[in-house]
Structure 1
Amino acid sequence: MKYVIGIDIGTSAVKSVLVSAEGRVVCEHSESYPLHRPEPGWSEQNPEDWAEQTIISLRKLMVKAKVDPSEVEGLSFSGQMHGLVLLGGNGQVLRPAILWNDTRTTPQCRKIEDKLGSQLLDIARNRALEGFTLPKILWVQEHEPEILSQAEVFLLPKDYVRYRLTGSFAMDYSDAAGTLLLDVAGKAWSSEIAGAFDLPLSLCPQLVDSSDLTGTLLPEVAEATGLLPSTKVFAGGADNACGAIGAGILGEGKTMCSIGTSGVVLSYENRKDINPQGKMHFFNHGEKDAFYVMGVTLAAGHSLSWFKDTFAKDMSFDSLLEGIESVPAGSGGLLFTPYISGERTPHPDANIRGSFIGMDSGHTLKHFARSVLEGITFSLRESIDIIRQSGKEITEVTAIGGGAQNEAWLQMQADIFNAEIVKLESEQGPALGAAMLAAYGCGWFTSLAQCAEAFIRPAKTYAPNREQADAYTELFEIYQNVYGQTRGLNERLAAFRQ
């Protein structure tokens, strides 16, 4: 037998999966690490926690799986995007990593926009948002200049772990695209953007493709993990890029909808001249010379969790959603907007907040629960529509994450998106995508698409119900009016938020 390992460096834990040549997940193991919030709006982690817990996770994975280490040919990574790790001349970490969900950098975002103007979208293809890496570097430049002066290189989370395992610095294009320092179409660090802020290009690591070989395990790491020093280590990719690979989004028109805490609509793109003008993200894919467009709903699954915890705390999710298929489309005239944490696509607005509109005394808990699902799905439909308006035909969407666990919700997605929804037989998300990069890098397959054919199997397809789809098209038009009608009210209410 031969195997590869996929490692996903998440925000709360690292997950390792051992995958056979047939695409079967033989074993998996997770290890958690802490998140630190030293100031309001700050979100930091100790990069060494990622490395140590990854080594522990790999060791326990090998013990549980009971496979010969000589059978593990390679491993690769998926990782949380955007997080800033600054390293000094001898590779030491200079300060805690500033994570993707850290919101301290609003002034730096405005500085980037003022300095670069339209050049930012022309080169980086994305707006300056607090989550991205360049604003974090500028925050350190302004508030901790003595730290930045010592920095020799910056890495992202999975790249730091890979450095600790192999001793080499590198960053793949899919993760580099989320820094705002990459010329996304040109696949090179941007001297124009770096120079505008007096940042040396030497701060940026070597760029590689996600399936490139970046070294083998250091002897001490091999001993600690139970693997061989000859184990091949491949670059890996950003979590969304690896999630796309793990869902088979590897060809023109292929689209996925991932509903977790946030919600993501991601569509494969082979045209490098696409510029969504900041309406959606445009990033390099984990597949060589490919790209993807992506829209984000900040509070997708989080909206449902918030609703359950606030109004049905003693119920399970299954109990809360039981029978919602009997509630008609439109939830009896009740409409929910999932802006409870602000919004990203198509409204990058930190001040907007959610709402229930159309409540009356006839509405029950089931009406509210269904309206929450509908509102989340309407928000994701806005991303679907932006992709369609670019000229892309979307007739099929692969559903992953929590939104793929409920049959009524899957049918709702088919009706609201007006597309067939495909649920996968076994879903491992970004960790599987990382394993597929290793399998392709090891030469098991001639392409990632061929790997996907062997590793990914559909379980069930949900087709749109024409009557329901027509009703949702009308309701969606009403939904789209809510943002404009409530924006001013929410700006005034912001003064009363604690």
Structure 2
Amino acid sequence: MLLLGIDLGTSSIKVSVVDAASQKTIVSVQYPETETPIIALQPGWAEQDPNTWWQHVQQAILKANATNTYNPKNVSAIGIAYQMHGLVCVDKAQNVLRNSIIWCDSRAVPYGNKAFDSIGHDTCLSKLLNSPGNFTASKLAWVKEHEPAIYAQIDKVMLPGDFIAMKLTGDITTSASALSEGILWDFSTNTISKDVLDYYGFDASLFPTIENVFTSHGKLSSTVSESLGLSTNIPVTYKAGDQPNNALSLNVLQPGEVAATAGTSGVIYGVGDSLNYDQQSRVNGFAHVNHTAENTRIGTLLCINGTGIANSFTKRMLAANKSYNAINEEAAKVAIGSNGLSVLPFGNGAERIFNNTIVGAHYQHLDFNLHTQAHIFRAVQEGIACSFRYGLDIMRSNGMQPSVIRAGKANLFLSSVFAEAFVNITGVPVELYNCDGSVGAALGAGIGANIFASEKEAFANMQPLQLIEPTNIDAYKGVYSNWKDALNKQIA
């Protein structure tokens, strides 16, 4: 019995096929090979075309099928992970009305800030666990004001994963987890938030039917089944945002367990069993994949927009002809601290850890005579690690005290320079696993289809690849101190 997982990322689509009996990955593919561009029509804006996502999903599945390592007809369930907080609007014929305003878009910040003040800080934090910020609800408010003709045509508003499930099945559903990441879920009533709907003037009919995360969200249409070589009526049995899904893929489901990822954005995600929130909404609380009204499971999410994208920008600008491996090797030859060069990697929109301020990326103490490409490579990765520490300290002030952090051995965690900087600057060991979002989505599909008797069974064969422990904390104290001094000058 096979499970198919789709991970709708900002850069590309990943698809994995997993054998349910052994939980082993049969094949993983990525499409396209190059990074999908982000459309930035104005500074601080970030959009992508949902129809491009759908084209890439289909191509990724066909690419996986073409490996001939499995029989596509044996796929029994499909799971979807997706970039969080995006806004997708469709009309009654399920046609996309505009580009998706994606997670790192900053245009809705003023709308969220005004809503926070108008609805009331205490009400927002106690009921929504967050300020409306620049999340999905506030993005929809922007469309309502600036694109009224488009807003008038909207039949349904959804998150990116809901859109892909719709294209697969023709059905439109959502979940409490998805609505909570859009700041549309009232945890006090366990319903869509009347406060948010009333304030923004949204009709409840704009939002899809609410289902559990682990359940059937529709079955493959005959047209899609035929075009993708899959059996008809395969159910989509799991949908989750990329960070809750990353936590699931690392078996981070119970209170006190913590996951991290360092892809385009950087995230630390810890699970708790109470409705905690940060008074300044610098870190955010969402319904975790296994949250229910009876069994509270809140994922506290630290998100730093400008992390992996800072590394990819550096490669694109300075070393387009080199691999990430080669860049990492050059960075490793430079001494800890990059000879005084500090990098603030915040060039990807408003950062929640700074109260939705656009700080921008900065290179501090760059010496034209001393510093080389290799110094910049290392300083960028050290700066990213420092930004994790800054955010983790906010989480610590709110009661999250991780003793170990789990992460997939992927993206920046493939770099020994970054991994060493991360554990020594944060002071927390990291367990690395051979997993990714698409594998997690496949396992989630198995849970949703009741192929696994329990969540525990889905991860019975999971073992860490590597444990990285802090061994050089003192050497990195100066790195973080210098970096924080540079940051404070920018945000003062």
In the aligned structure 2, how far is the partner of 1:251 from the partner of 1:473? 32
Q: With the length of structure 1 as denominator, give the TM-score of the two structures.
A: 0.87
User: 1:386 corresponds to which residue?
Assistant: 394
Give the direction of change, closer, same or farther, for the CA distance of 1:445–1:353 in structure 2 (3 Å limit): same
Contact 1:125/1:277, CA 8 A, preserved across alignment: no
| AA in 2 matched with 1:482 | A
In the aligned structure 1, how far is the partner of 2:395 from the partner of 2:40? 39
Q: Does 1:448 align with 2:455?
A: yes
Aligned-residue offset at 1:73: 1.4
Give the direction of change, closer, same or farther, for the CA distance of 1:353–1:165 in structure 2 (3 Å limit): closer
| AA in 2 matched with 1:95 | R
Deviates more, 1:375-384 or 1:329-338: 329-338
Q: Does 1:74 align with 2:74?
A: no
User: 1:211 corresponds to which residue?
Assistant: 214
| AA in 2 matched with 1:37 | I
2:179 to 162, 176, 180: 176
Aligned-residue offset at 1:193: 1.0
Give the direction of change, closer, same or farther, for the CA distance of 1:46–1:406 in structure 2 (3 Å limit): closer
User: 1:294 corresponds to which residue?
Assistant: 301
| AA in 2 matched with 1:125 | L
Deviates more, 1:330-339 or 1:254-263: 330-339
SS of 1:6 mapped into structure 2: strand
Aligned-residue offset at 1:418: 1.2
Aligned-residue offset at 1:249: 1.8
| AA in 2 matched with 1:410 | A
| AA in 1 matched with 2:464 | P
User: 2:423 corresponds to which residue?
Assistant: 414
User: 2:311 corresponds to which residue?
Assistant: 304
- Percent of residue pairs bearing the same amino acid type: 25
SS of 2:23 mapped into structure 1: coil
Deviation digits for residues 22-42 of structure 1 (CA, Å, limit 9, x no counterpart) = 122212344449657383244
Q: 1:368-379 alignment to 2 at 5 Å?
A: 368-379=376-387
| AA in 1 matched with 2:466 | K
User: 1:494 corresponds to which residue?
Assistant: none
Aligned-residue offset at 1:306: 3.4
User: 2:126 corresponds to which residue?
Assistant: 122
Deviation digits for residues 101-143 of structure 1 (CA, Å, limit 9, x no counterpart) = 334334433442343231333332223433x211221122112
In the aligned structure 1, how far is the partner of 2:267 from the partner of 2:210? 26
Deviation digits for residues 240-286 of structure 1 (CA, Å, limit 9, x no counterpart) = 11112112222222222211222111112222244453020211212
2:258 to 239, 255, 258: 255
SS of 2:181 mapped into structure 1: coil
Give the direction of change, closer, same or farther, for the CA distance of 1:165–1:205 in structure 2 (3 Å limit): same
RMSD: 2.8
User: 2:3 corresponds to which residue?
Assistant: 4
Aligned-residue offset at 1:61: 2.9
Q: 1:315-464 alignment to 2 at 5 Å?
A: 315-322=322-329, 324-325=331-332, 327-341=334-348, 344-347=351-354, 348-357=356-365, 365-400=373-408, 401-424=410-433, 426-427=434-435, 429-454=436-461, 456-464=462-470
Q: 1:214-293 alignment to 2 at 5 Å?
A: 214-275=217-278, 277-289=280-292, 290-293=297-300
User: 1:481 corresponds to which residue?
Assistant: 485
Q: With the length of structure 2 as denominator, give the TM-score of the two structures.
A: 0.88
Aligned-residue offset at 1:423: 1.7
2:42 to 35, 40, 43: 40
| AA in 2 matched with 1:435 | A
Give the direction of change, closer, same or farther, for the CA distance of 1:321–1:84 in structure 2 (3 Å limit): closer
In the aligned structure 2, how far is the partner of 1:12 from the partner of 1:320? 20
Aligned-residue offset at 1:435: 0.5
Deviates more, 1:117-126 or 1:57-66: 57-66
Aligned-residue offset at 1:189: 0.6
Q: Which runs of 5+ in 2 are unaligned?
A: none
In the aligned structure 2, how far is the partner of 1:34 from the partner of 1:404? 21
Give the direction of change, closer, same or farther, for the CA distance of 1:124–1:214 in structure 2 (3 Å limit): same
| AA in 1 matched with 2:469 | A
Contact 1:35/1:44, CA 8 A, preserved across alignment: no
SS of 1:216 mapped into structure 2: coil
SS of 1:58 mapped into structure 2: helix
Aligned-residue offset at 1:63: 4.2
| AA in 1 matched with 2:165 | R
Aligned-residue offset at 1:71: 2.4
Contact 2:273/2:298, CA 8 A, preserved across alignment: yes
Count of matched residue pairs = 481
Contact 1:5/1:435, CA 8 A, preserved across alignment: yes
In the aligned structure 1, how far is the partner of 2:39 from the partner of 2:468? 42
In the aligned structure 2, how far is the partner of 1:204 from the partner of 1:377? 38
Contact 1:214/1:234, CA 8 A, preserved across alignment: yes
Aligned-residue offset at 1:368: 4.1
| AA in 2 matched with 1:295 | L
Give the direction of change, closer, same or farther, for the CA distance of 1:363–1:142 in structure 2 (3 Å limit): closer
Deviation digits for residues 385-405 of structure 1 (CA, Å, limit 9, x no counterpart) = 222223333121123332211
In the aligned structure 1, how far is the partner of 2:117 from the partner of 2:339? 46
Q: Which runs of 5+ in 1 are unaligned?
A: 489-498
SS of 1:214 mapped into structure 2: coil
Deviation digits for residues 465-497 of structure 1 (CA, Å, limit 9, x no counterpart) = 1xx213434543443333222335xxxxxxxxx
| AA in 2 matched with 1:39 | L
In the aligned structure 1, how far is the partner of 2:248 from the partner of 2:89? 29
Give the direction of change, closer, same or farther, for the CA distance of 1:374–1:162 in structure 2 (3 Å limit): same
Give the direction of change, closer, same or farther, for the CA distance of 1:105–1:15 in structure 2 (3 Å limit): same
Aligned-residue offset at 1:384: 2.0
Deviates more, 1:440-449 or 1:228-237: 440-449
Aligned-residue offset at 1:326: 5.8
Aligned-residue offset at 1:173: 2.7
Aligned-residue offset at 1:196: 1.1
Give the direction of change, closer, same or farther, for the CA distance of 1:27–1:320 in structure 2 (3 Å limit): closer
SS of 2:89 mapped into structure 1: strand
In the aligned structure 2, how far is the partner of 1:44 from the partner of 1:372? 25
In the aligned structure 1, how far is the partner of 2:79 from the partner of 2:456? 17
| AA in 2 matched with 1:419 | V
SS of 2:218 mapped into structure 1: strand
